[in-house]
Structure 1
């Protein structure tokens, strides 16, 4: 939607503009921002109109976390129903912004925040502003199909004692990472991404064979993350950038600090959000195994995130409680879809399946009373005692 009177208050004209109305960052505005900024090229400008005052606080922190640049912001007014209302306009660059060599002068950029506390601590919100709204979603809830029968295992090569086996993921080449992020943003067709991933898997498998590995894997080349990738494949689950969780945490400053400590840009990490009953209408990893089988005669190993890890990662009250009363109910369906995937992997002749449960180290060694590492486990701050959590993890893995 164009700016009122088709006049932009910014020093540079936006490539795209939309009106977020009175939505705040926790009630759908972030989804609209992603929808409009993802298709832009690097350096493209997005204008965001908003009637919500909290956006003035949240947007600078969001821009820092995502690597985008808040070029300018302007506070004006608009008339709704005969009444004047304050309206904010933000100009955001996708990535770093470089001003054109020759451009018409525009209004001077305004300060990000007049409130000195906010200016000193960007992203800090008052207790009144720290609300826990229901996160908006962009997909419709579908009824999952639960199979009545599962395939039996196929014969698989035996694994010799002391066999050399790849542990997990392999480093991905820079060209594959670029393709992955463009694919997640909807700017690269699936067929083109899969072709690039095929090439990367060929390199990984060849390296394992040269190294004398007895069992090979695809190095998780197609996955954006070792655990969250399932969010883009399961029914009624959606991958959202982890930076979109900013409006839901009690301490945005600490959350931002944790994300900045990661070894990858926070804007490139996506988190699974469950908004309906889970189902497995698409394979999680069978397609990965089948491609590896097509290029090697070695036994195949596949890694899957464990049921406790997925339960902890995918349970977020602002979303998951639409479909599940508690995390134990969610865990029941996570176990079911993992069992379905295990059956199909074994039926495809996979020799070894590994379940990853790295978050158990945080359960055992994390400080009592601390919220835990939010970026790894959205609900870890609500954990029970160590023995109770380990008992739950054992039960889920056995099931």
Structure 2
């Protein structure tokens, strides 16, 4: 497309990208400004960087947005981008007026559709972190408790509502009404299967980890495709993602634009609703501090707000401690921290170096350094908290049913680190042969409860009760009934748009665990 003398349409929002290029933060600023716009909204990008002439049209093609027109006067460029297609714009073309002031880039014309208060799911009536809660008692978790790891396949209408809300097409209250219905279905399915401890199925989340970006201040979810210019070889990275069966166009990644703060709960509202519809103990999962730090620390983005990865980690620890305290007061029976990237630290070689896209774009030093860093962050979050109500989950990746692209290796390299984490339970992937023999977990502290995966959520076949009972019997032999927890290797739908299995299969697997566990209860 050649430049023209003057835009035929007036922008709804304008900002000045200055001399930034697409690989040095411009795409992230574009995402920050375009996400609040409705479909058909027009964003003007001012730029003095010559490489944007070619890179911005390519980004538009990649993301499904339309480059409507662009102008060039001396070294100043103006690009007019439509969110989606121009045909989706309700208003007819108008003669361009002077653009909104670049000094206030988020200012908006009176005629433009109002942006949603938030561009990501948020509680319809979230409790403030500073509000005094009256602590409620948590239901006890029985021996041999059967539970899911976290996620549950979302109904198609729930996924549609999630996308509509993120894109500003569905109001917050309507989104949560929809999500409440999805949670009711997920918990009802778990209760029917016979589980002892339920989760809300993470129905309000786009994924197990990145959703936090939609709940924290100064953080935003950005499609993984927007981050390709930040890697050394974008084409190679994209090829690796395809080989690993990672839907880069659907997966979103957190980006930090300022100092992190928590003005509303991350997941406490999920526990509040879940406890209102079930009498069973409620478990809730949170991404761990190492996982969040690895995903959020990216060169040319987070270093504008933080001088180092350690400085970012300090704020991550702070907000997780605030959340953990509120979750305990809310009556969560078990708060589980997910740290699957620990497997990437010790098992990822040249062949699988991108096996966790949530950590692939971040700084990573030698394994011994990363493991020590992870241990320190986890213990900082857990310090002074009731140990018996906290858990740690580690697996080897759960984005695809293709076992050949997942990491393999037993827990031996991780055991010294896991044993030093001051946590009350470990929920570990153990059913797949990739995880090694369960006996090595004897090295974990004797006070901790041990959760072992007894079904493989990636296998579409529901395991036989006999096979599951054999795994349970082996676990009892090693750890005793009082310490043992039973669950699948991982969640059933880590990413909303890419579930591992159907709700029917998920329910069948949990039911098979519950029936096998019943054989051992007196």
Are residues 345 and 35 of structure 1, via their aligned partners in 2, closer, same or farther at CA, if it must alter by over 3 Å?
same
Aligned partners of 1:343 and 1:19: how far apart in 2? 39
SS at match of 2:168: coil
Q: Please say if residues 30 and 45 of structure 2, whose CA atoms lie closer than 8 Å, have aligned partners that are also in contact.
A: no
Q: 2:279 aligns with which of 297, 308, 313?
A: 297
**Does residue 393 of structure 1 match 2:374?**
yes
SS at match of 1:317: coil
SS in 2 for 1:266: coil
Of residues 317, 323, 329, the one that matches 1:335 is: 317
| Matching of residues 353-368 of structure 1 within 5 Å | 353-367=335-349
Secondary structure at 2:256 match in 1: strand
Q: Which residue of 2 aligns with 1:159?
A: 141
| Alignment of structure 1 residues 54-133 onto 2, 5 Å | 54-59=51-56, 61-63=58-60, 65-66=62-63, 68=64, 78-80=72-74, 94=84
Cα 1:60–1:162 change in 2 (3 A) is farther
Superposed displacement of residue 260, structure 1? 4.0
Q: In structure 1, which of residues 373, 383, 389 is the aligned counterpart of residue 364 of structure 2?
A: 383
CA contact (8 A) 2:197 2:281 kept: yes
**C-alpha distance in structure 2 between counterparts of 1:293 and 1:190, whole Å:** 21
**How far is 1:189 from its partner?**
1.1
CA distance in 2, matches of 1:236, 1:71: 27
Match for 1:53 among 50, 55, 74? 50
Question: CA separation of 1:61/1:339 partners in 2, compared to 1, >3 Å: closer, same or farther?
Answer: same
**CA distance, structure 1, for counterparts of residue 106 and residue 13 of structure 2:** 20
Between stretches 364-373 and 89-98, larger displacement belongs to 89-98
- How many residues in Structure 1 have an aligned counterpart in Structure 2? 340
Distance 1:315 1:184 in 2: 23
Structure 2 contact 285–338 (Cα < 8 Å) conserved: yes
- Give the Cα–Cα distance (whole angstroms) in 2 for the partners of residues 331 and 17 of structure 1: 33
C-alpha distance in 2, partners of 1:337/1:216? 25
Q: In 2, are the aligned partners of 1:216 and 1:298 still within 8 Å (CA)?
A: yes
For 1:351 and 1:186, the matched residues in 2 are separated by 34
Q: Is the 8 A contact 2:42 2:80 kept in 1?
A: no
Contact map agreement 1:37 1:94 (CA 8 A) in 2: no
| Aligned counterparts, 1:242-321, within 5 A | 242-261=224-243, 265-321=247-303
Where does the alignment leave 5 or more consecutive residues of structure 1 unmatched? 99-136, 140-145
CA distance in 1, matches of 2:66, 2:210: 29
Measured in 2, the distance between the counterparts of 1:62 and 1:289 equals 39
Structure 2 unmatched runs, 5+: 89-104, 108-127, 381-522
CA contact (8 A) 2:5 2:72 kept: no
Contact 1:299 1:350 in 2 (8 A): yes
In structure 1, what is the Cα distance between the partners aligned to 2:44 and 2:11?
8
